[in-house]
Amino acid sequence: FCIPTEYTMHIERKECAYCLTINTTICAGYCMTRDVNGKLFLPKYALSQDVCTYRDFMYMTAEIPGCPRHVTPYFSYPVAISC
């Protein structure tokens, strides 16, 4: 199934002094879909594929510590609410 799943990402900017670890939620898993667009000669089973995508999400912003004044210290990342 395609469901929101906890995910840990590491972000950094080479100009900043620190790497930041962020816990977020992503969509993970599979749900069955079928693509019939322009594929007339293929059997139906060849058109099936497993995909997982976001239904609802929001963006959060974190501040990377140790950045010089001329570098923007903010990083925005998606948080899955539903898939």
Range of the domain at 29: 2-82
- Rounded distance, CA 39 to CA 24, Å? 38
What is the percent of the chain where pLDDT is above 90? 61
Q: What is the CATH number of the domain that holds 41?
A: 2.10.90.10
CB 12, CB 22: distance < 8 Å: no
Residue 17 has pLDDT above 80, yes or no: yes
Averaged pLDDT of the chain: 85
Name the pTM for this structure.
0.67
Domain count, the chain: 1
CB 18, CB 66: distance < 8 Å: yes
Of 47 and 74, the one with more pLDDT: 74
- Average pLDDT of span 44-52: 68
